[in-house]
Every structure is written in C-alpha cells, then in structure tokens.
Structure 1
C-alpha cells in the first residue's frame, strides 16, 4: 500500500567513510587524553592546523605515516597503535565488516556515532521490534542489561531525526517476555512519534525478505547502510549499495500498511496482549 515517507538522499558534501570518521574520533580522543592542544600538536608535527582538523574529522587524504606520527606523539603504543594504523589503511574502503566485541559500548560505538550524525533513519526489521523502538523490559528479555540500557539511551535521537520503521507483523506477534511486556511494547511504539509501517501477513513477497537493515542519511557525508550479524557489524557506503537499499525501501513502502492502518493494527495487538492469558517467553536477534 504505497505511502511516500522515505526521505530523499541528501547532497554529498564531504569525502569520508564510517571507518575514517571512527578513526578521526579515536585519534582526537587520544590527543585529548595525552593533553595536546590541536594547534600545538600540529606545530610539533610541522603540519598545518587544518591537516589535524581534517584527520580528526575523518576526511580522507592523510597517509598511514601521518596517522602513525600522530599516534606516536600522543604516546600510543603496542596493540592499540597497530589497530588504529590498520583502520587507517582501510579507511577509504566503502564496505566495513567490523567484528563485534564482548563489550556492548564498544560494539555499538560506530553505529551510535553514525546515528548522531544522521538526519533521517529508515529501518526494516524482520524478526523483532527494532531496537530504537523497544521498551527497557522488552530489550532486557533479549539482551544483557548493559546492552539494553545502551539501546534505550540511543532512542533519544528519535526526538530530532526523521525516522521510519518497517516491521513485519510476525515480529509484533512474536511474544518476548510476558504479555504485559508485549502490551507495553505496542503502546510504546504508538507513542514513539516515529512513523511505523507494518508489513502484514498477507503482503506479497518483497525484496527485504533476506534480512533486517538500517539506512542512515547524513547531510554532510555519504549515506550508510547498516546490517548486523551475531559476530559482525557491517557498514555499506558505495553508491551502488545505497541504491540497492533505497530500492528495497521503495518495495517495502509498496507492500506495507499505511501509518494509519499500522496504528490500528498496533492498537488491536495492544488490546490482545492486555487481555488476561498465560504468559509466553521468547527471544531472538534484532538490529542493535
């Protein structure tokens, strides 16, 4: 059921990637931790201040040698030095497969940074309520408490970005935690302020059936498509990759209920979950 809600792509104004921006943020943190002012560090390296700014902003064009010199001056050694230089070597690539670590904060650091830059977010989730729409009790039913708390904290961005969520009806009907948790979750989605469109059971096959994803539009950099597996976060930025996901979003817009129809379904589900019945418990994997 067509309903035009997907934002158009913003103009590209800066040459950077998610990887180069992450590197820039980490370099700046190292400089500040070492007590260097940007101007003084530039003078010590015999660089212009603009070169330091460019590097810390994630703009491409600096060399691995520059990054190594910067890190050495900031006292970075060993494995951390090697890790950041390795990121620098790959910083121009528009596909980043980022291994997921054990620490929830580290695991979502790049995603959180990209969300902070975004002006529009388009999300599709095939299996569960999207992380940015979850209640704390729903989140704690499927992830550890620390990860759930970080997920809820990230939801503040919904107050400033244009967000649209496509969710499969099966994800809304999959019990996670108790029926009370599910009732509160349906109510929370309706009160979120985001545009939510449900892909109903009766929808025809569509091109998003191969998995969940998020598309982040940024006014200053290229759009980023984000995918997640159990062991890796994947950031995609090439024009061809982004065009593919915009096509998928257009297909979802074709088959999904309108926002108003989706709200009616969410209201019905909230009523169903609010009726006294035996609780069920389930879990699964959704995007961070």
Structure 2
C-alpha cells in the first residue's frame, strides 16, 4: 500500500484532455505524461506509486518518461491504485490503444482471448467481412452497455459478482476493436443475425434499445449492411454456430478465411472444401434474411417495444 494517504473519490481527480500535449507528440509520451499528472494530482511519490505495480520507483519514473515499453497490466494497476474515475480511465484506454497502433505491435488488449486475437488482426486487413450471428449482437458492433452485460455474464461468479476493473477492461477491448477496425480503413461489412439475437435479453430493455439504435445508425453508414433472419418465417438457422468469413487483399490473388466461434475457442478455416461449405451457408443466410429496409423496420419496432417496456 502507498505510504501516503489520499482521497480516492472521483471528485478529486481532474480529467485532462488527451490533447494537453503537442498534437505531434508520440502516444507513448502522452501516456507517460498522463500517468505523471495523475500521480502528482494525488500527491503521491514515485515510491508510493511503485507499490501498486509491485515494482520500483525507477520503473514508474521510466513509464512516466516513456523511456521503456509499458505493460498494459502495469498501467491498469496504476489506474486502479489511483482510484481513477470513468472519464480518466477512458482516456488511458484510448492512449494505450494509440500506443499499440503507433508501435505496430499488438492490435488488441492483453485481455483479448488468444483465439480472438487473430480475428482482430484479420478484420483490419480484410476488404470484405461477412458475419453470421444466431444468438447475440456481434462483438464488433456492441455498445459499451451491451458489452458490459455480456462480459458480466461470462466473468461473474455464482453470486453474480465480478472484478469490476477486469470487466471494464474487457468492455474497453470490445470498444477498441471497432475503433481499430475503422482506423484500418474499414472493410465492407455485412452482418446477418437471427431475430432471436435481438430478443435475447442480456440486460434490461434500455440496454437492448440502445443496442438496436446503434445497429440502425451503423447500417446507415456506407459499406455496412445489417440484415435479420425473421424468427416467424419458418426458417431454420443456416448454421448452428457463429462464423465470420473474411476476404484478404493478398497477392497474387485474394485469400479467404473463415473464423468459426465455439464456446471456449475458435477454428480458422482456409481449406477450400470447407470454405465452399461456408460460402454456401453465407448464400443461404442472405437468401433467408430480410432486406435491409425490412430489417430496419423490424429493429425500429423492437426499439419501440423496448422503450415502452422501460416506462
């Protein structure tokens, strides 16, 4: 524990703009400067801060001066130790994302499961992405509130409790996935969901209404199409598991990869025979799905129902 007491309440921590430094400052310098400001605002010594990362004062000093690569775990341990409020945590998350991008190393948070990391990289390289989801909104398109409910369902113990700091980091990772996808230029994106994915309640009606509104907003964006397979049409789902088909602009010809999600992992398929089966499932899903206009009408109706349920 730190040698000096301090007030951990959010009201004492002044959130600073990411642009306090020069606009051309490398992200690592901005991150270090932010960590230093956070420590100094709480009137903590380097030795006191070092206790949070189980390290030395010199290590904290190097982090603040951006003289060595930082681990995300150390940064988040400092943030947790400083009792940072939500806005400050969001700034740190964005700076870490920019550091990763600037260094050209990881395109994912260290809490991202190993089986998902390859998909995140492939999404950023792809020219076309097709995603089929039978039960939930795809992680790439989730709102923070929806993502939080999903993460809680995965991490909570039998009493419904979970490490709030860890939950928050998982939510940040899902937000970063979309931001990194857009930063990469944004592939053409087609998402098809079973209607049951829009009815399955991960939280209260307000969360689902907000998620539906986000889907409607995204589908107005060029290059993004979101369509729904209706549950009352007598159709069977085209595949029992979620899968994503990606087209990569490799030379001399394009390369196709299918990511097949499982309960505790995933498979990556490049074999032409299996690829052909998934292309057939894609065609079937597109044939079963409503048009974008009818899908939007369905989602708008569900928004109204969810909003009515809130009252």
With the length of structure 2 as denominator, give the TM-score of the two structures. 0.53
Deviation of 1:107 (Å): 4.5
Comparing 139-148 with 259-268, which one deviates more in the overlay?
Answer: 139-148
Counterpart-to-counterpart distance in 1, 2:282 and 2:233: 15
1:36-92 CA-to-partner distances (Å, cap 9, x unmatched) read xxxxxxxxxxxxxxxxxxxxxxxxxxxxxxxxxxxxxxxxxxxxxxxxxxxxxxxxx
Kept after mapping to 2: 8 A contact 1:206/1:255: no
Provide the rounded CA distance (Å) in 2 between the counterparts of 1:191 and 1:142: 21
8 Å contact kept, 2:124–2:187: no
User: CA contact under 8 A between 2:241 and 2:262: conserved in structure 1?
Assistant: no
Give the aligned partner of residue 8 of structure 1.
Answer: none
Gaps of 5+ in 2: 1-109, 152-166
Specify which structure has the bigger relative contact order, considering alpha-carbon pairs within 8 angstroms and separated by 6 or more residues: 1
- Aligned pair 1:217/2:243, yes or no? no
Corresponding residue to 2:137 among 119, 124, 129: 129
- Give the Å deviation of 1:196: 0.7
Alignment match, 2:174: 151
Q: State how far apart, in whole Å, the 2-side matches of 1:217 and 1:184 are.
A: 30
1:142 corresponding residue in structure 2: 150
Aligned with 2:225 (options 189, 192, 195)? 195
Contact kept, 8 Å, 2:194 with 2:228, in 1: the verdict is yes
Distance 1:145 1:105 in 2: 15
Equivalent residue number for residue 262 of structure 2: 229
1:24-103 equivalences in 2 (<5 Å): 103=111
Aligned equivalents of 1:198, 1:262: Cα separation in 2: 5
How far has the Cα of 1:148 moved from its partner? 2.2
In structure 2, what is the Cα distance between the partners aligned to 1:169 and 1:207? 10
| Count of residue pairs the alignment pairs up | 177
Structure 2 equivalent of residue 164 of structure 1: 190
Q: Secondary structure at the match of 1:223?
A: strand
For structure 1, the 5+ residue unaligned runs are: 1-101, 279-288
Contact 1:121/1:216 (CA < 8 Å) preserved in 2? Answer: yes
Q: Which moved more, 1:147-156 or 1:245-254?
A: 147-156
C-alpha distance in 2, partners of 1:219/1:259? 27
Q: Secondary structure at the match of 1:226?
A: strand
Q: Give the corresponding residue for 2:95.
A: none
Distance 2:310 2:186 in 1: 38
Is residue 2:270 matched to residue 1:247?
A: no
Summarize deviations over 1:125-184 as a string: whole Å, max 9, x none.
011111111101100101133222211211132562110111011110111111111111
- When residues 142 and 207 of structure 1 are mapped into structure 2, their CA distance, relative to the original with a 3 A threshold, is closer
The answer to whether the 8 A contact 1:138-1:185 is kept is yes
Which one of the candidate residues 80, 95, 119 is aligned to 2:127? 119
RMSD: 1.9
Instruction: Pick one of 106, 112, 121 that aligns with 1:104.
Output: 112
The equivalent of 2:199 in structure 1 is: 173
Contact 1:206 1:251 in 2 (8 A): no
When the two structures are superposed, what TM-score results if normalisation uses the length of structure 1? 0.58
- Secondary structure of 2:135's aligned partner: coil
